[in-house]
Chains A and B, each alone.
Chain A
Amino acid sequence: MSRYMVLTKVMLKNFNLFDLRSAKSGKSRTKKILLSVLIFVSFLPMMFGIGTLAFVGYHVLSGIQQEGLILGMGFLVSSLTIFFFGVFYVISIFYFSKDIENLLPLPLRPSEILAAKFTVALFYEYLTEFIFLAPILIGFGIAGKAGLMYCIYSLIIFLALPVLPLIYASVITLLIMGFTSLAKNKDRFRIIGGIAAMTLAVGLNAFITKISSSSMSADELQQLLAQGNNSFTGTISGIFFSNRFAVMALLHNSELKGLVNLIVFMLICVLFVMLLLGIGEGIYYKGAVGISEASSKRKKYTESEFRKFSRQKSALRSYIIKELKLLFRTPVYFMNCVLLNFLFPLFFILPFIVQPDEMKELQALSPYISDIGKQGAVLAAAFGMSVFVASTNGIAASAISREGTNIYVCKYLPVSYRTQILAKVLSSACLGAVGTLSMVLAAVIFVPLPVYLIMLIAVAAILGIIFSSFTGIFIDLNFPKLIWDNEQKAVKQNFNVVLNMLASIVIAGIPVFVTIALHFTLWITFITFVAMFGILDLLLYNLLSTVGVRLFEKIEI
């Protein structure tokens, strides 16, 4: 137990989201603190919105005595989110963290390392939970005029809720990593393994929800709803079955029934932790030992192969290719930054494939799109989506951070900082364009888009993508997160990415909203976007060539 505590303590030392400790001077520390405050403040409206929703929902649903549904839904959505992030966290913290090679030679049991790493992942999940679940608990509590017991129960449930979804994520990952360790090309297998884990997870949940909902007829459902007494809450937990006990505990917090439910909830958590440690003891090392091994083929080149490789390229082009290669080959970067661009349209298509009825509805949109008067809105929407995808992939906003302690290499190469910044921006724009392209292709499957519209979307989207890449790298130049022990920290646990998402969504969102609301025609919409983002891009380019270069110069490690 004590070894677990020591390990956890050491690992949590690296848990500094804003990288405050690496800030050398007081000035950069102030900058980082301000940034943290800014990010927190920018989440406030959303948290307030969620809280209000819970508050209003309570009053609506308490009329039919189904207010527990709010908690049930809140727990379910939180559990799903935690689970989804969990897969990423687990892969990177359990396996790709640099400390694993230092821990393996120590006389520790696999379950001790696993327990400590699980705790670290849990802490990350608390952050996610804080934004999604805390407002619901607070809103619900205020609406129900909750007392002290509610507060205590909420706190306990808040702390214990992520355990089950995180254990699901851990077990799936442990199993898959255990098998992929047999593979030769580990990087590639891990990428496939990660995708498999996520697909399996989402599929499993969809499957179970479907079973539990289809087993009930509409009549039964109505009956259940009419019963009142929060009869409905039990049916929506899906694979996170222990959530219903948490809901019950909160609803009956002043009765013995509540306490019993809380105890059951906690017992399930403990049981699953034991289960995880048991499984981990057996298979954790299978995946973790030799995690940094890489395959080699030991193959000699022929004359013609040499010739092919030796073709001279410009420094800029070579630099862009290097950036892209690292993004595609590093599993964590691939999953976080690259895959999204291809997957995003899939999220969009999937519901229509699963439910063919909705496909018809979508196809009913065709005449709408061929109506030139409405095409302005289509262009605006496509533009907004493109910027959204480009900012979510986080390539530009983590471009400097991803260099990590090797940032010094950028310093001694005889390539100007301007060129290096440009190469990073272009590699980001490249993949952003892929996102737009796959989105347009996905749309074309369902709704025939006229060619000229596609062209206009392409031009406007490119300007928007470049804009978001410029703002991203500018933020990252200001607050590079260079000290990290696993790559995940450079891309996912990097608030620069979140900040750029927020900035891009707000700045690109306003014109999208305005053009749609004011029913701009296609051409006016197009001209608005091109003019606005053309000018913004030029201004940002200038800013990066002057201030950006100076910031790059100043980065020292």
Chain B
Amino acid sequence: MIELNNISKTYNGTVKAVDDLTLVVPEGQIVGFLGPNGAGKTTTIKIITGILNADSGSAAINGIDIKERPLEAKSQFGYVPDNPDMFLRLKGIEYLNFMADIYKVSSDLREERIKELSERFEMEAALDDQIQSYSHGMRQKIVLMGVLVHAPSVWILDEPMTGLDPKSSFILKEMMKKHAEAGNTVFFSTHVLEVAEKLCDKVAIISKGKLLFYGTMDEIREHFRSNESLENIFLELTENE
């Protein structure tokens, strides 16, 4: 579970990136986080993960406040950032083991998981190469595997589908569904409205740092009394802002 209470964040004292945002992502659900460019999605995610400090308000993962007990809170989630260009001079296998060491995964468990994940994402032959030799999609996959190797209950994914090939994208979506069905939390941002429409139990729409709408797809249609696609509703909603 992720809880955000009245989060605000201002850059340079002028630009309000996140404005009094309150949001609860419950267990057992996939929640999509939508909004136009510069709406504050990544900033919000960075506040949840402890990368940025909020000016006011609080964020908690599985009931643990990120500011008060940061290490415990950080152990609860796995995070896929929007840019997978990191640790480029480590080999894939070294990166995965680094993550496993950081998250204290035992030798046997990690061996099993790395084998399984690399097979699933067809990365077995890439593990011995440095990450800088990977394509964008492969980098995305290795970062994703770095999350899955420590099997966190909360997944926080920033644009996770970008750059993935159709098969990997499909596998990821299936994994997200399974993870939520098992009673875990999945929170991800996306620009691809069709994905959100098909995959999410709930969507949160944000624009200029403010939450415009938060609910299920049915609720959204009911709210706007329309049978329109999410795309049209989204465009209307963010246009009028």
Q: Name the contact of B102 in the complex, choosing from A187, A295, A315, A411 (C-beta under 8 A).
A: A315
A233 to chain B, nearest CB (A): 48
What's the count of A-B pairs with C-beta under 8 Å?
Answer: 112
Beta-carbon contact of B89 and A556 below 8 Å: no
CA distance A513 to B66 in the complex (A): 50
Known: A300-B124, A306-B111, A312-B105. A322 touches B52 (CB 8 A): no
Annotate B85-101 by CB proximity to A: 1 below 8 A, 0 otherwise. 11101100110011011
CA distance A322 to B124 in the complex (A): 22
Q: Name the contact of B86 in the complex, choosing from A300, A313, A406, A416 (C-beta under 8 A).
A: A406
Known: A318-B97, A411-B51. A307 touches B132 (CB 8 A): no
CA distance A388 to B51 in the complex (A): 35
| Chain B residue with Cβ nearest A412 | B49
CA distance A130 to B85 in the complex (A): 38
B8 to chain A, nearest CB (A): 15
CA distance A292 to B89 in the complex (A): 11
Q: Is A452 positioned at the interface, with any CB of B under 8 Å from its CB?
A: no
Beta-carbon contact of A294 and B110 below 8 Å: no
Q: Is B194 positioned at the interface, with any CB of A under 8 Å from its CB?
A: no
B205 to chain A, nearest CB (A): 25
| Chain B residue with Cβ nearest A310 | B111
Contacts of B75 in A (CB 8 A): 414
Known: A312-B106, A329-B89. A295 touches B49 (CB 8 A): no
Annotate B109-153 by CB proximity to A: 1 below 8 A, 0 otherwise. 011001100000000111111101100000000000000000000
CA distance A322 to B97 in the complex (A): 10
Beta-carbon contact of B102 and A415 below 8 Å: yes
Q: Name the contact of A300 in the complex, choosing from B71, B110, B125 (C-beta under 8 A).
A: B125
CA distance A414 to B73 in the complex (A): 8
CA distance A315 to B46 in the complex (A): 23
Q: Name the contact of B124 in the complex, choosing from A301, A309, A313 (C-beta under 8 A).
A: A301
CA distance A322 to B51 in the complex (A): 21
Q: Is B226 positioned at the interface, with any CB of A under 8 Å from its CB?
A: no
List A275-310 residues whose CB lies under 8 Å from chain B.
Answer: 292-301, 306-307, 309-310
Q: Is A408 positioned at the interface, with any CB of B under 8 Å from its CB?
A: yes
B208 to chain A, nearest CB (A): 21
User: Range of interface residues on chain A?
Assistant: 35 or more
Contacts of B178 in A (CB 8 A): none
Beta-carbon contact of A294 and B133 below 8 Å: yes
Contacts of B107 in A (CB 8 A): 310-312
CA distance A373 to B17 in the complex (A): 68
Q: Name the contact of B49 in the complex, choosing from A300, A406, A411 (C-beta under 8 A).
A: A411
| Chain B residue with Cβ nearest A306 | B111
Beta-carbon contact of B94 and A301 below 8 Å: no
Beta-carbon contact of B132 and A294 below 8 Å: yes
Beta-carbon contact of B74 and A414 below 8 Å: yes
Beta-carbon contact of B102 and A312 below 8 Å: no
Q: Is B50 positioned at the interface, with any CB of A under 8 Å from its CB?
A: yes
Q: Name the contact of A306 in the complex, choosing from B70, B104, B115, B126 (C-beta under 8 A).
A: B115
CA distance A294 to B85 in the complex (A): 14
Known: A299-B125, A312-B110, A325-B90. A318 touches B12 (CB 8 A): no
Contacts of A538 in B (CB 8 A): none
CA distance A178 to B13 in the complex (A): 49
Contacts of B74 in A (CB 8 A): 412-414
Beta-carbon contact of A297 and B129 below 8 Å: yes
Q: Is B53 positioned at the interface, with any CB of A under 8 Å from its CB?
A: yes
Q: Is A24 positioned at the interface, with any CB of B under 8 Å from its CB?
A: yes
Beta-carbon contact of B115 and A556 below 8 Å: no
Q: Is A319 positioned at the interface, with any CB of B under 8 Å from its CB?
A: yes
CA distance A383 to B129 in the complex (A): 41
A300 to chain B, nearest CB (A): 5
Beta-carbon contact of A322 and B90 below 8 Å: yes
Annotate A394-421 by CB proximity to B: 1 below 8 A, 0 otherwise. 0000000000001011011111100000
Q: Is A314 positioned at the interface, with any CB of B under 8 Å from its CB?
A: yes
Beta-carbon contact of A412 and B79 below 8 Å: yes
A88 to chain B, nearest CB (A): 19
Beta-carbon contact of A413 and B102 below 8 Å: yes
Q: Is B234 positioned at the interface, with any CB of A under 8 Å from its CB?
A: no
Contacts of A310 in B (CB 8 A): 97, 100, 107-108, 110-111, 114
Contacts of B213 in A (CB 8 A): none
Q: Is B103 positioned at the interface, with any CB of A under 8 Å from its CB?
A: yes
Beta-carbon contact of B129 and A296 below 8 Å: yes
Contacts of A321 in B (CB 8 A): 98
Beta-carbon contact of B102 and A414 below 8 Å: yes
Q: Is A326 positioned at the interface, with any CB of B under 8 Å from its CB?
A: yes
Q: Name the contact of B51 in the complex, choosing from A292, A312, A412, A414 (C-beta under 8 A).
A: A412
Contacts of A329 in B (CB 8 A): 89, 130
Contacts of A366 in B (CB 8 A): none
Q: Is B163 positioned at the interface, with any CB of A under 8 Å from its CB?
A: no
A369 to chain B, nearest CB (A): 43
6 more A-B residue pairs beyond the given contacts A406-B86, A414-B72, A556-B53, with a C-beta to C-beta distance below 8 A: A300-B127, A301-B127, A312-B104, A314-B101, A315-B104, A416-B71
Closest 6 CB pairs of A and B: A318-B101, A294-B133, A414-B74, A310-B111, A296-B129, A296-B133
Could you tell me which B residues sit within 8 Å of A by CB distance? 11-12, 46, 49-53, 70-72, 74-75, 79, 81, 85-87, 89-90, 93-94, 97-98, 100-108, 110-111, 114-115, 124-130, 132-133
Contacts A/B (CB < 8 Å), 16 sampled: A293-B133, A294-B132, A307-B111, A310-B108, A310-B114, A312-B110, A322-B98, A325-B94, A326-B89, A406-B85, A411-B49, A411-B50, A412-B49, A413-B102, A414-B70, A414-B103
